[in-house]
């Protein structure tokens, strides 16, 4: 049985027993960002380490490598592989991060940065053309990612959304959340923003879609993240191997055509953000259809291995459809492991950047873990944004980066 399908059947006790202390030291030369495939194949997670104190761990987090070390220390090999791993040979997962090395900043000096702020707002338009503006303390948001109860059965998504509220950032709520949507609605803070992620069912069922939208609205969700990259679930060999899953018959998960997308846009008053877009043509179609936003993502390298990195897609958009990123808000995720990755995405035209694995892995240390991870990114971003020479994320643009070494990665054929 596939992992995702069996998650809801795991009891909290069974989940907790998986969160056994297992420790595999990461060789110092291997950053967890770039050698995940190798790490996954090391196999022997050997000696246990159950004496993990969250406060001590969190106090030792300086950047995302520390979060990764803690998570690998506490998660069972099967859970670690599921969260830290990707699909296939994990080429897209590594590429999401690698591509940033081909882009450098063009820092400017002597600017007045005394009022520098990360405050960000984004305006989304629904199918009827009604606009709504959402404020965030920073351009980071929580990407919807499923089953937070697997990494932390004690708090699950409750820890995630409370950390998002404390940090003042928007929380994407996954359809496959461990905590039912109504439960998350019950703990939503007054001024907090939730956006709901919808995967339509394998068999198109308009009534089921409407029921999910009603439940999301009742829980206070104010936009829809419609995920369109799961025609089939990714071939997540590493996670399946370590969990003993049988992938036989894993051929189709969700049906989603442009007709369905348009139907959803026309049948909800929530703005629709289309998630999983990986080409300029599809971004243009989303814009022309009047959707609320375009969300570039290769699902953290968990769907099609060999899919382009979102940063690469932004360059493709800038080449073939300049102006698109100012006509419709563009979101992006994929290896936002440091402020400089975020700054480069924003300079390329993303309005906000999402965090998936960083949230899952920091949640191993509870709400406080997610808060610390977000705080580090926030502070790092202020530092690096000043060093680039701008005082607001909205001032970032192509002038702030040099993509010359990366242009060879941009599609050069005819558009279809």
- Under the binding rule (CB under 6 A), the answer on residue 123 touching ligand NAG is no
Position among 147, 158, 362, 364 found at the interface with ligand NAG (CB under 6 A):
158
User: 356 labelled as ligand-binding?
Assistant: yes
Is 358 annotated for ligand binding? no
Cα angle 179, 183, 185; round to 5: 120
Among 156, 219, 223, 273, binds ligand NAG (CB under 6 A): 156
Query: Smallest distance from the beta carbon of 112 to ligand NAG, in angstroms?
Result: 6
The answer to whether 299 is annotated as binding is: yes
**SS3 letters for 320-332?**
HCCCHHHHCCEEE
Scanning 150-158, 250-258, 292-300, 315-323 for contacts with ligand NAG by CB under 6 A, the matching segment is 150-158
SS3 content of the chain, % helix, strand, coil (to 5): 45, 10, 40
Ligand-binding site membership of 188 (annotated): no
Strands 120-125 and 131-136: antiparallel
Contact 356, 171 (CB under 8 A): no
User: According to the annotation, is 275 in a ligand binding site?
Assistant: yes
302 is in an annotated binding site: yes
Decide if 49 contacts 72 (C-beta within 8 A): no
Pick from 243, 276, 317: nearest CA to 5:
243
- Interface with ligand NAG, residue 115, by CB under 6 A: yes
Distance CA 110, CA 146 (A): 45
Work out whether 133 is an interface residue with ligand NAG (CB under 6 A): no
Considering the complex, what minimum distance in angstroms separates the CB of residue 391 from ligand NAG? 4
d(C-alpha 30, C-alpha 28), whole Å: 5
Distance CA 162, CA 156 (A): 11
Give min distance, CB of 156 to ligand NAG, in A. Answer: 4
Q: Hey, what are 43's tokens?
A: 């196999």
Structure tokens given for 269: 């008053």
CA distance 11 to 9: 6
| CB of 87 or CB of 192, closer to ligand NAG | 192
Burial class (CB in 10 A: 0-12, 13-18, 19+), 348: buried
Q: Which region, left, alpha or beta, applies to residue 168 given φ > 0 means left and ψ of -120 to 50 means alpha?
A: left
The reply to whether 14 sits near ligand NAG by the rule CB under 6 A is no
Is 260 considered catalytic here?
no
C-alpha dihedral over 71, 237, 258, 310, to 10 degrees?
50
Min dist CB 105 to ligand NAG, Å, is 19
| Binding of ligand NAG by 179 (CB under 6 A) | yes
Q: Does 209 bind ligand NAG (CB under 6 A)?
A: no
Region from 154-162, 212-220, 240-248, 346-354 binding ligand NAG, contact rule CB under 6 A? 154-162
Binder of ligand NAG out of 191, 203, 248, 251 (CB under 6 A): 191
243, 299, 341, 378: which is the annotated catalytic residue?
Answer: 299
Quote the least distance from Cβ 118 to ligand NAG, whole Å. Answer: 9
183 interacts with ligand NAG by CB under 6 A: yes
To ligand NAG, the closest distance from the beta carbon of 297 in angstroms equals 26
Q: Of the ranges 18-26, 182-190, 193-201, 304-312, which one interacts with ligand NAG (CB under 6 A)?
A: 182-190
Q: Which stretch binds ligand NAG (CB under 6 A): 66-74, 184-192, 306-314, 364-372?
A: 184-192
Q: Which of 17, 56, 117, 267 binds ligand NAG (CB under 6 A)?
A: 117
Residue ranges in 354-413 that form contacts with ligand NAG under rule CB under 6 A: 391-392
Angle between helices 64-74 and 366-388 (to 10 degrees): 160
Whether 120 has a binding-site annotation, put simply, is no
Residue 186 interacting with ligand NAG (CB under 6 A): yes
CA Rg value for the chain:
20
Total residues contacting ligand NAG by CB under 6 A comes to 13
According to DSSP, the residues that pair with 121 across neighbouring strands are 135
Asked if residue 121 binds ligand NAG (CB under 6 A), the reply is no
Give me the long-range contacts of 152-157 (CB less than 8 A, separation at least 24).
Answer: 152/19, 152/363, 152/364, 152/366, 153/12, 153/15, 153/16, 153/19, 153/178, 154/16, 154/366, 155/363, 155/366, 155/367, 157/184
Closer CB to ligand NAG, 147 or 230, in the complex: 147
Which residues of this protein are in contact with ligand NAG, per CB under 6 A?
Answer: 115, 117, 155-156, 158, 179, 183, 186-187, 190-191, 391-392
Positions marked catalytic: 299
List the binding residues: 144-146, 197, 227, 275, 297, 299, 302, 356-357
List the binding residues for FMN: 144-146, 197, 227, 275, 297, 356-357
List the binding residues for glyoxylate: 299, 302
């Amino acid at each position: 049985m596939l992992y995702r399908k069996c998650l809801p059947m795991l009891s909290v006790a069974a989940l907790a027993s998986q969160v056994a202390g297992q420790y595999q030291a990461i060789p110092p030369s291997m950053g967890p960002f770039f050698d995940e495939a190798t790490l996954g194949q090391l196999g022997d997670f050997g000696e246990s380490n159950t004496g993990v104190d969250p406060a001590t761990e969190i106090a030792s987090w300086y950047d995302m490598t520390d979060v990764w070390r803690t998570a690998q220390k506490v998660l069972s090999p099967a859970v670690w592989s599921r969260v830290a791993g990707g699909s296939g040979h994990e080429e897209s997962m590594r590429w999401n991060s690698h591509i940033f090395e081909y882009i450098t900043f063009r820092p400017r000096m002597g600017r007045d940065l005394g009022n520098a702020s990360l405050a960000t707002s984004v305006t989304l338009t629904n199918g009827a053309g009604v606009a709504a503006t959402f404020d965030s303390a920073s351009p980071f948001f929580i990407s919807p990612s499923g089953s937070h109860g697997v990494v932390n059965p004690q708090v699950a998504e409750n820890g995630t959304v409370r950390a998002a509220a404390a940090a003042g950032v928007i929380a994407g709520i996954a359809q496959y959340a461990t905590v039912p949507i109504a439960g998350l609605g019950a703990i939503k803070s007054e001024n907090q923003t939730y956006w709901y992620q919808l995967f339509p069912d394998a068999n198109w069922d308009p009534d089921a879609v409407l029921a999910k939208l009603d439940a999301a609205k009742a829980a206070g969700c104010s936009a829809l993240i419609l995920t369109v990259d799961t025609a089939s679930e990714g071939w997540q060999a590493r996670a399946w191997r370590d969990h003993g899953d049988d992938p036989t018959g894993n051929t189709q998960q969700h049906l989603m055509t442009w007709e369905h997308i348009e139907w959803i846009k026309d049948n909800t008053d929530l703005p629709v953000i289309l998630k999983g877009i990986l080409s300029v043509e599809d971004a243009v179609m989303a814009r022309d259809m009047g959707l609320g936003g375009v969300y570039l993502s290769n699902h953290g390298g968990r769907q099609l291995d060999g899919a382009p990195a979102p940063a690469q897609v932004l360059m493709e958009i800038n080449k073939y459809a300049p102006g698109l990123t100012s006509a419709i808000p563009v979101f992006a995720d994929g290896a936002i492991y440091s402020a400089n990755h975020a700054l480069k995405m924003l300079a390329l035209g993303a309005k906000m950047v999402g965090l998936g694995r960083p949230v899952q892995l920091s949640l191993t240390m509870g709400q406080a873990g997610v808060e610390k991870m977000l705080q580090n990114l926030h502070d790092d971003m202020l530092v690096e944004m000043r060093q680039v020479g701008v005082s607001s994320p909205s001032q970032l643009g192509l002038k702030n980066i040099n993509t010359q070494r990366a242009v060879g990665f941009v599609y050069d054929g005819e558009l279809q």
